[in-house]
Every structure is written in structure tokens, then in C-alpha cells.
Structure 1
Amino acid sequence: MTMHIVFFGDQHLDSLGGAQVSMRLQREFLERAGHTVTVVAPKMHGPRSGAYDPANVDLPSMPITADREYSMSWPGRGTDRFLDRAMTRRPPVDLVHVQADFWGGFIGHRFARRHGIPVVHTMHNRVDVGIRAVTPLAGPVLAVLNLWRRRALPGTGAGSDGWAFLRGLAAGASAVTAPSTHFARRLEQHGVFGRVDVVWNGIDDDVRAATLAAAPEERMPGRPRFVWLGRMSPEKRLLPFLEAFVASGVDAELEIIGGGAQRPAAEKIVAGLPNVRFAGKLTYAETLSRIAAADALVQTSIGFETQGMTPFEAATLGTPSVISDPDIAAELGGGLWAVPDSDAPEAQRIAALAQTLRQAASDISSGTAPVPLEATAEAFRQSSRTAAMIEIYEHVLPESR
């Protein structure tokens, strides 16, 4: 049976971010399977705002970052009316798939309530950790978020911490999914939802095949090549990583992919090092090509990632990873260097990362680097992830459909 599924996101799918990459792939592979997908998200305002896409409903929005990359839409009656009018020009909706943690989540659940449509909610965000990473006033911020949630979605429960916020979002869902086993179990342990299904975010099958076909069969000679990629913000721990890289003294190349507010500070730490290069923001295919060409990917956030897509992308391309987060290391299962002391004070964590980088560089140079698990690479293909999600969709749809 074919379905019309409506995605709700906090950010437009043309903006930067792991959730946006995942949702673009989900949409593409659902459409390949014969389904219709509509994506509801705030309209972009920056220079990268794209051309009209008939699959998108771009909600009235306001920019919320200086570079105008990200925006927000207010979850209220005006947005509800705009959305309902837009949806009258589209096929009847079978399912709402909320993949948003803030305004997009509120708007999606409000839409599903008004029209009696079942909801699958994918949790992408460890809200409590993320907010603590960017503000010293996490408690008051979470209290305000929960107040906002109760007003936007009446009857979704009390509480003022991050788990209460996620419980409230999940209250209207027929199914909840998470992109990793460790995050799913935490959601269950904190009463967010009774049973959380694990569906990894995936990699584009075709781009993966093309990337592997273009990659050399043997390692190119030269110094060990490390790559780091992501948003340059505190929770990603780019600055501590660069401090560790400098302290390690490794004779290695380092490429840093991405952008964000911490770039000037990052460049200052490694100023004068000719073996460190900032590549800026690259396309999806370019990024995968750089990962495949590297000897090791470095993942440095701790406790924040609900999956951490980059080590999985690296694994499926045959590139091992230096992993700071023990949960991500356990999820990958192999093909990595695990950084110890994840619970230690920051100075000790930096020293442990520096030592792990030295070990990784030594293993790479000697030809003894770990090899990613083949099973992980196969299970990360988007086609298999879409098949798993379709099973969940079909389970929650009314039998009378």
C-alpha cells in the first residue's frame, strides 16, 4: 500500500545539520518506494535559501541566527491556519512523522490532533545535554521550554526538566523511534515512551557505492590523515579536540569540515600549523569522499549525540574512528579507537584524547589500524533503514485504511 507521510522538522531540509541530512534521505527513499512525502518546516531566509520544491510546505518564519541559516515558526493559530490551507492542495494524509524537538514538533502534533492522524515521533535530540552545553542557565531554560510545550500542546503532562519535555512531545505519538540503542534505552528508562524502536539514520546507498568506487584500493602514501566534521559549537567539543591535537604532537594531516560560531577560536588554536586545513561547508557527496580518503575520523562530543552519524558514515566507507563517546563506541561495536576518561575533568579528557591520537597515528603508520565491522556498514544503508521505518508506519496505521 502507498502512503502520504508528512514530515515535520524544526529546520528546513536545505539547511545544515545531521537531522536534515537524515530526513532528506528518508524522503528520497520513501519516494523511491512509491510513497508521497510532504515536508513541513520553517522557511529559510539566508543566502542558501533554495528554489521552490513542490514537496515542501515552507511555514512563515523568522531567522534566529546571525548567518540566517536557521529559522523558527511560531506554533500558534496563525501557523495552524496557514498549514491547513496549504494541505488542502495535497492528497489526504495517512501519517504524520514528527522529527523535531521544538516548534516543529509542536506544530506537527497540533496538526495531527486537529485531523485525527496517527503520529510516529523520531527523537533526534538529547535536549537536557544540548541546553547545558550552550548555557549556564539550563534549569530556567528547560522550565520555560516545558511551559511553552504545555501551552502549545495542552494536556501533555507536568515537569520542568529535559525528560519531562520529551515525555510531553511523545504523549501524542502512536510510536516513538530513536536513532541508536543507547538513546532508545534512556528514553524508556525516563518514561518518555513505553517501547522505543531503534532505527538508525542511514547513508545514501548510491552515493556510498559511488564513493567507494572512486576511492583507491590501497591507502595513499603519506602521513596519517585525520578528519573532523560537524557544527562548530561547544557541545561538539572542537576546541578541546584541537588542543589535544596540538598537545599530541602527531605528525599527521588534519582536515576540519563544517562551520559555526567557534571557527575563529578554532583557527587560533592551530594557527601556524601547515598540516591543519579548514575545508568549510561541503556537499554531502564531497563530505563522504573526504571521509573515505581519510585514515581516521575523529568524533569528540560526549553525551550529546543521540546517534552520532559521522562514525557510522565512516564505518560504512571503511574508515575507522577515534571515538570520545563510550555510548557511540558501544553502538559501533568495533573498528575504532576508544578514548578513555570520558567522565573525567576536561583537562584529563584532553590528555586522554591526545594519547589516543598518538596511538591511532602509530597504528595507521604501521598498517595495524582497526577495520570497521562489515555488519555495521551493511545495516547503515538507507534502503534498509527505510524498510524498517515502513514496517513501523504500517503497524500504527488503522487496519481499516
Structure 2
Amino acid sequence: MRIAFFTDVFLEIPGGIPSSIKAQKTTLESLGHHVTIFCPGWKKQQPGISMDKQSHLSLIKNSNEDIIIVPSFKLLRPNGAPLAKSPTKIIKYINKLYPNFSSSFDLVHVHYEASCSIAGVKLAKKYHLKLVQTMHGREDIAIYTNVPTPLNYLVAPLLNFLHQKSLESIQKRKITLPKKDNYLIKTLVHRNMWELMIRQASLADIVISPSQHFAKNLEHYHAAKTVHVVSNGIDDELLAKYSFKIRERQQNDPLKIIWSSRVSKEKRILPFLESIKQSKCHKNIQLTVIGDGNQLQEAKAFAKANLTDTKIVFLGLVPHEELFQYEKDQHLSIINSYGFDTQGMTILEAIACGLPVIYADPAMDENIPDHCGLRAKNNTPAAMAELLDYIFENPELIKAMSKAALRASPSVMQSAQIKKLLNLYQSSSN
């Protein structure tokens, strides 16, 4: 099967979506399928390109010719990542590369909702290819949380309007949601972003969610009659490079915790640092922070001012293929988001290497295999501090949870998810 992936997420920036896309590509190709990824990048270059690890601005030829960099803005770089130009320009560019798109691809799988992803939708419709759409995240929370008020009340309607205009020629039903409801639409920001997400999903033949609770949310707003759940997965080839042992911690040993998510507002880095501050064992906690984001400097400042007795290391961005090297000697992985993550690759990465997880969001319960993690009583810093103290005082918990995680590791690998994805591909093929 010849599959075209479209995404607006830059593949060379660590994160859940790019790592899941690359894992799907690797596993599909190991089974004999052919996957081409269309995504934004630093400049147009054919064949495919990758970033030099030494510089975000340095490009090298990539032996993988199946990553097509679509036209992208040179100066607009939200969060340091390239931004794709308009769907019209992207389609024009792709049409030059593939004059008869349908002779090159059997199926289109879209992994986002912005310009490049819109181009994928329009190409699928133009060439009568069946369309699969994975809805990865809560874009309403992302805009509401990360764009300052009142600017977010301007940005969300603008994004919704541009999305609607880009797709109006192929949109069969108008997407209109209530201004507010008792479910997830709390403000006009949420409403506009949910309209955008539902419009995108409504055009697909198959809609996928990485988790059951997010599928339920999408079905509530009529994204599709059935939203299929296909978990993200960890790249089998990547993990095969490592071997992991059961984590153990002795009484009064430092409690080693790793943060491997964006250092951003929606991920709630500052509330977690506050939890450490409130913890009775804060002097015996060692925190490693991997990632970049809009609260990195605030997090560093908070740690410097309030956690001088706690060993905290901010490593910044780390290539995804090196993440497991850092996780090997940790006791816990933390995912502190609440109401935002639809699954959390941080969880899957931790389970894959036998690392117990602590978390705050009850929605993540479905993603934590039995006995592999512990959830705070609520989303307050005090509740997480209480959990940290409980784990510190009961060191045997680390070994028990780590054993369970290693047993569950095969279940979070991409190879365990791919059959379900292929079944959906085949059910939606011409």
C-alpha cells in the first residue's frame, strides 16, 4: 500500500505527534508498505531532508527520500518550528512533484488540522482517495492556555475562519457548535477551535483517536458516527537498541524523576515545581527536565528562587532517539497535564522502558497499564506533593511498579498497534 502522511508538525522537534508519526512510518515500511510524509521544514529541497543535529538551520541530505518538505515560511516560526504556507501553495507544489497524485498513492492519512493537513484533505478529495484523519490533541486547550487573553479570543475565530474558507469548496455540512455547553465548550475560544477540529474530522472516511476518552469527546460533537481508537506506539527498532532493568530504590536514596514533555503552560510545569517545593522530601528529589517550551525560563527562575535544596537539571531539547538513555536510571516519569493530553507519549515512553509514571489527570487512567503508575488525588500541587512523599516513604513501590511496566512494555510498542491501523486502512480503501 502506498500511503501519504500529511502533518503540520515539524518532525525534527521532539514531541508526541512527530514520534508517533515516525514510528507508524517505520513499522508500516517494515511490513512492506510505502509511506511518504508531507510536512513543513526549513526550506524546500528534493529529495527529502533532515536537520543537522548541530544546528536548527543546517540541512543535510537524507538517505530517506520519503519526507517531502512543503513550502514553509522563512521567518514565521511559532515555538521555533517552521510553519507551512497556504494550502493552495502547498497543493501547487505537490502537483508539480506528483502530476497525477492518485497514481502515486492509494490512501491519504492526515495527522493535524492546519495548512499542510488541509492540503492533504483537498488532494484526497480531488483524486478520490479515501481519507484517514487522526485527531491527536485538544487544540482548544492549546490556544486557550498558551495564547494570552484577550488575544486568544481573536486568534481562535481567525483560525476557525481561515480553516472554513480553505475547506468550503468541499465541505458538505456546516459545522456550528453552541457558544457554551456543559461539556467542553466553556468559552468562544473553545467553541471556535472545536468547530475547526470537527470540520476537519467530518471530511474523513475514517477518524482515529489515540484514546477512548478523546474518541468520546469527538463523537459527542459529531466528528464521526464512530471514532476508532488506535493507540500511539513506540518505535520497536528504536527501543531494540536498549536493554532495561527493574528500577529499585533504597530507603533514603534520592528520588529521581524525569520530565520529558514540553516545558509549557498546558503541561503544567510550574505546578509540578510547586509540588516539589511543598514536598517534605524536596531535598532528596532529583529532577531532570527534558524539553523546551513557553515556560522554560519561568521554570528555571522558579527553581532558582525556590528549590535551591533540590537538584534540578534543565537539559533542553534532546533528540528523541536519545531519550531512553536519560530514562534508564530514573525512578519516575511525570506527566502533570490536566484536561489537555489525549494520551501522552510520555506515558508510553516510560512504560516501554519499565519506568513508573506519576500523573494528575484521571483521563490518563486508561493509558496507564495496571500497577504501572500512581495518580495524585486531584490536580493541586499539594496533592502531587503528598504523592511524592508517599512514594519516597515507601521505596518498594518503585520496584513493584517497574516490574509491572516491563511486563506491559510490549503492549505500548508500535508493532502492537499496527494491525488495527492496517485493518482501518483496508476497510477504507477503494
Same fold, TM exceeding 0.5? yes
Q: Which residue of 2 aligns with 1:337?
A: 374
Q: Which digits, 9 at most, give the CA deviation of each residue in 1:366-392, with x for residues without a partner?
A: 766535456743221111222221111
The CA deviation at 1:393 is: 0.4
Question: Is 1:161 aligned with 2:176?
Answer: no
Q: Which runs of 5+ in 1 are unaligned?
A: 343-348
Once the two structures are TM-superposed, the CA of residue 292 in structure 1 deviates from its matched residue by 3.3
The 2-side partners of 1:200 and 1:13 are apart by: 19
Aligned partners of 1:123 and 1:177 also within 8 Å? yes
Decide which of 59, 66, 72 is 2:70's aligned counterpart. Answer: 59
Please give the alpha-carbon distance, in whole angstroms, between the structure 2 residues aligned to 1:256 and 1:317: 18
Q: How far apart are residue 49 of structure 1 and its match?
A: 4.6
Query: Does the 8 A contact of 2:257 with 2:332 survive in 1?
Result: yes
Residues 114, 395 of structure 1: alpha-carbon distance in 2 compared, 3 angstrom cutoff: same
Cα distance between partner residues in 1 of 2:260 and 2:247: 24
Matched, 1:227 2:227: no
**8 Å CA contact retained: 1:59, 1:82:** yes
The answer on whether the counterparts of 1:321 and 1:336 sit within 8 Å (CA) in structure 2 is yes
Deviation at 1:35, TM superposition (A): 0.9
- Please name the residue that 1:345 is paired with: none
SS in 1 for 2:42: coil
User: Which deviates further from its counterpart, 380-389 or 93-102?
Assistant: 380-389
Is it true that 1:182 corresponds to 2:213 in the alignment? Answer: yes
Residue identity (%): 26
Q: Counterpart in 1 of 2:19?
A: 21
Match of 2:123 in 1: 111
Partner of 2:183: none
- The change in CA–CA distance for 1:381 and 1:216 in structure 2 (over 3 A counts) is closer
Aligned mates of 2:417, 2:214 — CA distance in 1? 17
Please say which of residues 46-55 and 139-148 is displaced more in the overlay.
46-55
Contact 2:86 2:115 in 1 (8 A): yes
User: For 1:81, which of 71, 92, 99 is the aligned residue?
Assistant: 92
Deviations 1:152-193 (A, max 9, x none): 001252335332212210122110001111111111112111
Equivalent position of 2:53 in the other structure: none
Aligned to 1:38: 36
CA drift of 1:56 comes to 1.6
1:210 aligns with 2:210: no
Q: Is 2:327 aligned against 1:291? A: yes
1:271-302 per-position Cα deviation (integer Å, ceiling 9, x unaligned): 23451111222222321232232111111111
Q: Verify the 8 A CA contact 1:120 1:177 in the aligned structure 2.
A: yes
Query: 2:6 touches 2:120 (CA, 8 Å); kept in 1?
Result: yes
* Matched position secondary structure for 1:279: strand
Structure 1 counterpart SS, 2:104: coil
Structure 2: segments with no counterpart, 5+ residues? 44-55, 177-190
Helix, strand or coil at the partner of 1:184: helix
**Deviation at 1:79?**
2.2
Q: What code does the residue aligned with 2:69 have?
A: D
Paired AA for residue 167 in structure 1: I
2:161 equivalent in structure 1 = 147
Residues 48 and 305 of structure 1: CA distance in aligned 2, closer, same or farther (over 3 Å): farther
Q: Deviation per CA, 1:305-352, whole angstroms, max 9, x where unpaired?
A: 11111112212222111111111123314321111223xxxxxx1111
User: For residues 20 and 340 of structure 1, what CA distance do their matches in structure 2 show?
Assistant: 31
Query: Helix, strand or coil for the counterpart of 2:61?
Result: coil
Tell me how far 1:24 sits from its aligned partner: 0.8
Distance 2:193 2:297 in 1: 31
State the match for 1:240 in structure 2: 271
Q: Does 1:124 align with 2:136?
A: yes
**Matched pairs, number:** 387
- SS of residue in 2 equivalent to 1:206: helix
Paired with 1:89 and 1:282, the residues of 2 have a C-alpha distance of 39
Question: SS in structure 2 opposite 1:71?
Answer: coil
Task: Tell me what 1:47 maps to.
Answer: 57
1:227 is paired with a residue of what secondary structure?
Answer: strand
Shift of 1:103: 1.6
* 3-state secondary structure, aligned to 2:287: strand
SS of the residue 1:191 aligns to = coil
Note if 1:260 corresponds to 2:293.
yes
Q: Which one scores higher on RCO, CA 8 angstroms, separation ≥ 6? A: 2
Alpha-carbon distance in structure 2 between the residues aligned to 1:288 and 1:367 = 18
TM-score (norm 1): 0.89
Q: Displaced runs of 4+ in structure 1, greater than 4 A?
A: 365-369, 373-376
The secondary structure found in structure 2 opposite 1:210 is coil
User: 66-75 vs 227-236, which deviates more?
Assistant: 66-75
Letter in 2 for 1:262: Q
Q: Which moved more, 1:362-371 or 1:326-335?
A: 362-371
TM-score by length of 2: 0.84
Q: Taking structure 1 as reference, are residues 274 and 336 closer, same or farther at Cα in structure 2, changes over 3 Å only? A: closer
**In the aligned structure 2, how far is the partner of 1:168 from the partner of 1:35?**
29
89, 98, 106: which one aligns with 2:110 = 98
